[in-house]
Amino acid sequence: MTTITDIPAKYLVDPQLLLQDGTHLIGGTWVPAASGDTLEVRNPATQEAIARVPRGAKADVDAAVAAAAAAFPVWRDVHPSVRGQLLHRWADLCEQHAEELEVLENLENGRPRFLPGPIAPSIRYIAGLADKIQGSSLPTANLDQLALTLRDPFGPIAVIVPWNGPGWATPRRVVGPLVAGNTIVLKPAAEAPLTVLYLAKLAEEAGIPAGVINVVTGTGSEIGAPLVTHPGIKRVSFTGSTATGTRIMELAATHQIPAILELGGKSPQVVLADADLDLAIPHIVRGIVGNSGQACAAGSRVVVARELEADVVERLKAGLAKVTVGPWYEDPDMGPLMNEAQAERVLGYIAIGEQEGATLAFGGSRLTGGKYDDGAYVEPTMFTGVRPGMRIEQEEIFGPVLTVTSFDTEEEALEIANGTAYGLVSTVWTRDVGRAVHFARRIEAGLVSINTSLGSGGIGVPSGGFKASGYGRISAADSPLEWTQTKAVVFGKTYS
């Protein structure tokens, strides 16, 4: 078995030197779980245990919510420009420690490296809005009255982030609430908590007060429900599967709190007859092998004009054949799947595709032998002859599996693109601006990319979905307003 000592020294970061082993952050103190129980964090590329974190339970959630509630009045009353300055310091530290953040995520997530990441720019963009949250003046019944609105923070916010990109996901989900004056109880995925814990440590070093950011580690089944249903939690932000998001929404409804949900996707790559294939094909390949297809924004469905289908399929085969697969420190194009359960899920869908009558045109197998025996590696896979309605065309596989479906008319292309329960992101490939506008207006997705990588929104572009891909938006210029509630104030006559 490969071990951490086999990783090149220039990439070697020992999590136990960056973090206090077996502790999470509650009220400014790094503490073990109340029960003393721990969970192992394993490197997907090697299956080696690289750290231990607390196996939190309801008692830990109670402590973290209490800490967030105690910190809330102080953080709420900090001048907005000071909140912004503290968050800018956090961004600076994230930039200074970008290598450590990157390697921690590589170790716990298994994906190949792609520095520089957008962590610091994402924080800075929203931090700059701290002193720009404004209410409105309103008309009144007579001139002796004054009416206005204030934007008040909610209080402690529960933020639940996924394992497939914790370093990138966390700032995008916590900075908006923090800017608005809320405090945070953050639950990272049990499989990948280390990057989140280190981000919290850097926030401490930046001077963000104790209790403003709390991190409770553990399994979703043991701390997810106690967190979302806790009476001290005033709002929820969740990123993950649609099934779990539905359950989160049900739990939040038990005490009438709102939730922002960014959920699954089955994202189309629409290749129109006039597309520049030299531009499109490399992006489509990267879109399905990036993070081993374990992304809600993975471009898993190619919807191609019939006259281009044969050419596109051959080009995709050639592109997939060039994809290198291996552990992240070899700088491959694609790493392992997160764990055995994920590999079984992907291989199960590949079997379903064949049973449904789709043509397995490339890949389809687990990689074995040598380094591949240490992790859950499935080769890039492509199905052709995929008909609308097949399970592999409808359901989120969360792996490196691409489907190809052809169309005869542009209206049929739109029908196929919109023909799933999801609506997260999409891409249209065309040389015609008019066609691009036509599709951008009619595709049911939170983000439509034109002739660029699917989901490459940049900094400040709203992130969120339509339909079963969730609701609410993060990362946008107005995202701090999502984390405030409107209060109306009316002044009557104040003189005799």
Look up the CATH number of the domain holding residue 218.
Answer: 3.40.605.10
Residue 286 lies in a domain: yes
Residues 257 and 376 in one domain: no
**What does each of the 496 residues of the chain score in pLDDT, given as a tens digit?**
344 556 666 566 677 678 888 999 999 999 999 999 999 999 999 888 999 999 999 999 999 999 999 999 999 999 999 999 999 999 999 999 998 898 899 999 998 876 556 899 989 999 999 999 999 999 998 888 999 999 999 999 999 999 998 998 899 899 999 999 999 999 999 999 999 999 999 999 999 999 999 999 999 999 999 999 999 999 999 999 999 999 999 999 999 999 999 999 999 999 999 999 999 999 999 999 989 999 999 999 999 999 999 999 999 999 999 999 999 889 899 999 999 999 999 999 999 999 999 999 999 999 999 999 999 999 999 999 999 999 999 999 999 999 999 999 999 999 999 999 999 999 999 999 999 999 999 999 999 999 998 655 578 888 899 999 998 988 888 889 999 999 999 998 766 6
Q: Tokens in use for 480?
A: 């701090």
Task: Give CA–CA dist 173/191, Å, rounded.
Answer: 19
Residue 314 lies in a domain: yes
Q: Tokens in use for 33?
A: 């779980």
Residue 492 lies in a domain: no
Residues 59 and 151 in one domain: yes
Report yes or no: 449 and 425 within 8 Å, Cβ to Cβ. Answer: yes
Q: Hey, CA dihedral for 447, 401, 220, 248, is it positive or negative? A: positive
Residues 254 and 283 in one domain: no
Q: Tokens in use for 156?
A: 């402690």
Report residue 123 CA to chain centroid gap. Answer: 15
Residues 55 and 175 in one domain: yes
Residue 400 lies in a domain: yes
Residues 276 and 195 in one domain: no
Residue 36 lies in a domain: yes
Residues 229 and 372 in one domain: no
Residue 13 has phi, psi (to 5 degrees) of -130, 125
Rg of the chain over Cα atoms, rounded to whole angstroms, equals: 24
Q: Is 121 exposed, middle or buried (0-12, 13-18, 19+ CB in 10 A)?
A: middle
Residues 228 and 281 in one domain: no
Domain count, the chain: 2
Looking up residue 387, the CATH number of its domain turns out to be 3.40.309.10
What's the one-letter identity of residue 314? E
Task: Give CA–CA dist 157/392, Å, rounded.
Answer: 36
Residues 282 and 349 in one domain: yes
Residue 494 lies in a domain: no
What's the one-letter identity of residue 74? V
Residues 221 and 349 in one domain: no
Name the residues annotated as catalytic: 262, 296
pTM for the model stands at 0.94
Residue 38 lies in a domain: yes
CA-based end-to-end distance of the chain: 85
Residues 240 and 310 in one domain: no
Q: Is 394 exposed, middle or buried (0-12, 13-18, 19+ CB in 10 A)?
A: middle
Residue 216 lies in a domain: yes
Closest Cα to residue 106, out of 29, 201, 4? 4
Residues 251 and 277 in one domain: no
Q: Domain span at residue 175?
A: 4-263+473-485
348: three-class secondary structure by DSSP: helix
Task: Give CA–CA dist 19/21, Å, rounded.
Answer: 6
DSSP 240-283: S-HHHHHHHHHHHHTTT--EEEE-----EEEE-TT--HHHHHHH
Residues 193 and 282 in one domain: no
